[in-house]
Amino acid sequence: MSTNSKLTEPIIRVTDVSKVFGRQKEQALKLREAGQSKYEVEQATKTTVAIYNAHFEVKKGETFVLIGLSGSGKSTLLRCLNGLVEPTEGTVYLENTDISHMPKRQLQEVRRNKIGMVFQNVGLLPNRTVIDNITFGLEIQGVSANEREKRGKKALEMVGLNGQAYKRIYELSGGMQQRVGLARALASEQEILLMDEPFSALDPLIRRDMQKLFLDIQGEVQKTVIFVTHDLDEALTLGHRAAVMKDGEIVQLGTAEDILSQPATDYVKLLVQDVNYGKIRLAKDAVVPVETAAYEYESPQVVLRRMRTNHLSTIFVLDSADRLLGLMSIYT
Ligand SMILES: Nc1ncnc2c1ncn2[C@@H]1O[C@H](COP(=O)(O)OP(=O)(O)O)[C@@H](O)[C@H]1O
Ligand SMILES: [Mg+2]
């Protein structure tokens, strides 16, 4: 995870949101409140409490992750944030405006101008050019052709596809198409982006690439992103903070360090066990090359930048004779 000093203002506030699917909504919530599990309530009422009592804030410029197993309520909660799902209880505020019970037409405006959504399958138009695909959303929003071209090219540069602007989508490899999808999302007009498992279907190598690319671009554009994943590694890599969901409830909310060092429940402990330990079998596999160390005479800004580039939260600090002085962490 990375730090960002601008992360102070809340842009989205979710207060005590519950979402119930089924007929016996009140009864289901009552039973849930009395301590019955989501499953027990389903058995008793044929009604699903998909989200129970969620509250959190997302700050401007933050990448906020919702993480949990399939069925834990991530997509439902995400869809509450742009009004695609109306909460049964509670309120979602977007910059202090209640958007959870807004008329449809007004919501469409909000989605067009403020809060965009990226789906798992990229949904590019195969017969249009790369640049057309990237700027399609901008065209709908009435951004001028000049400006569209400028932004489109900038986005392509960010994803390393400069030369491909006038190729058609079907001419590109799968990995390149993914890049175009990401460029389109991040070049969009909206300040807030909802991303529902955008990389989950990708094979691990391309996925790693896309995660790196996401960090690079997000470092530059600094949108507010709410990112859904079932992969804790991905959550910890991409997010400033993450909310861990289980059976419709947020069981822990915090930074990578919070979650890894102090898992709040046995469930989080189980999730955390797989991180690193599963992937890194020997300490030597986790060693970061020495060129990513820092020297005591370097300015903190320079060191932080190097840490960001290399996706490190901690770095060794050496004196001019390469002796180890200690560690520098983004959290200090
Ligand atoms: N439209 C719906 N009607 C009924 N139940 C739903 C609907 N959407 C989601 N659910 C239920 O809500 C719970 C959360 O689902 P979802 O938000 O899709 O979870 P996730 O995205 O974490 O896999 C699940 O139990 C799911 O079956
Ligand atoms: Mg989902």
- 81-90, 139-148, 298-307: range with highest mean pLDDT: 81-90
Sign of CA dihedral 121, 125, 130, 136: negative
Residue 126: the pLDDT is 86
CB atoms within 10 A of CB 46: 11
If you count DSSP H runs as helices and E runs as strands, how many of each does the chain have, helices first? 12, 13
Report how far residue 91's alpha carbon sits from residue 300's, in angstroms, rounded to the nearest whole number: 41
- Ligand 1 binding pocket mutation candidate from 21, 42, 81 (most atoms within 8 A of CB): 21
Among 257, 256, 193, residue whose Cα is nearest residue 67: 256
| Residue nearest ligand 1's atom 16 by CA | 73
Confidence of residue 78 (pLDDT cuts 50, 70, 90): very high
Report CA(310)–ligand 2 centroid distance (Å): 30
86, 25 contact by CB (below 8 A): no
Among 52, 119, 59, 38, residue whose Cα is nearest residue 84: 119
| Residue nearest ligand 1's atom 24 by CA | 71
Report how far residue 201's alpha carbon sits from residue 207's, in angstroms, rounded to the nearest whole number: 8
> Taking ligand 2, which is a single-atom ion, which protein residues have CB atoms under 5 Å away?
75
Report how far residue 64's alpha carbon sits from residue 47's, in angstroms, rounded to the nearest whole number: 29
Strand-pair category, 10-21 with 48-59: antiparallel
Query: What is the Cα Rg of the chain in Å?
Result: 22
Sole residue written with tokens 């990995």: 175
Residue range 56-77, pLDDT digits in tens = 999 999 999 999 999 999 999 9
**260 or 24, which is more confident?**
24
| Residue nearest ligand 1's atom 26 by CA | 71
Amino acid at 116: G
Report CA(68)–ligand 1 centroid distance (Å): 12
Report CA(157)–ligand 2 centroid distance (Å): 31
Q: How far is CA 297 from CA 305, 317, 325, 329, in A?
A: 15, 10, 12, 16
- Ligand 1 binding pocket mutation candidate from 48, 195, 247 (most atoms within 8 A of CB): 48
Report CA(332)–ligand 1 centroid distance (Å): 39
Confidence of residue 122 (pLDDT cuts 50, 70, 90): low
Sign of CA dihedral 232, 89, 94, 180: positive
CB atoms within 10 A of CB 199: 22
| Residue nearest ligand 1's atom 3 by CA | 21
Task: Give the helix/strand (H/E) hosting 157.
Answer: helix 145-158
Report CA(50)–ligand 1 centroid distance (Å): 6
| Residue nearest ligand 1's atom 1 by CA | 21
| Residue nearest ligand 1's atom 7 by CA | 21
The minimum-distance atom of ligand 1 relative to the CA of 70 is 23
197, 170 contact by CB (below 8 A): no
Report how far residue 48's alpha carbon sits from residue 247's, in angstroms, rounded to the nearest whole number: 10
**238 or 299, which is more confident?**
238
Which letter does DSSP use for residue 287 in this model?
P
Q: Which residues line ligand 1 (CB under 6 A)?
A: 21, 48, 50, 68, 70-76
**Does residue 138 surpass a pLDDT of 90?**
no
Report CA(75)–ligand 2 centroid distance (Å): 4
CATH numbers and ranges of domains, the chain? 288-332 (3.10.580.10)
The minimum-distance atom of ligand 1 relative to the CA of 42 is 25
Report CA(259)–ligand 1 centroid distance (Å): 25
Strand-pair category, 63-68 with 224-229: parallel
Query: Phi and psi dihedrals of 16, rounded to 5?
Result: 50, 50
Residue 290: the pLDDT is 61
The minimum-distance atom of ligand 1 relative to the CA of 66 is 22
Residue range 45-58, pLDDT digits in tens = 999 999 999 999 99
Least distant ligand from the CA of 25: 1
243, 253 contact by CB (below 8 A): yes
Report how far residue 230's alpha carbon sits from residue 232's, in angstroms, rounded to the nearest whole number: 6
Q: How far is CA 151 from the centre of its chain?
A: 22
* Dihedral (Cα; 203, 206, 211, 216), 10-degree rounding: -170
313, 331 contact by CB (below 8 A): yes
Report CA(66)–ligand 1 centroid distance (Å): 14
Residue range 274-312, pLDDT digits in tens = 665 444 444 555 555 666 788 888 888 888 888 887 778
Report how far residue 180's alpha carbon sits from residue 174's, in angstroms, rounded to the nearest whole number: 10
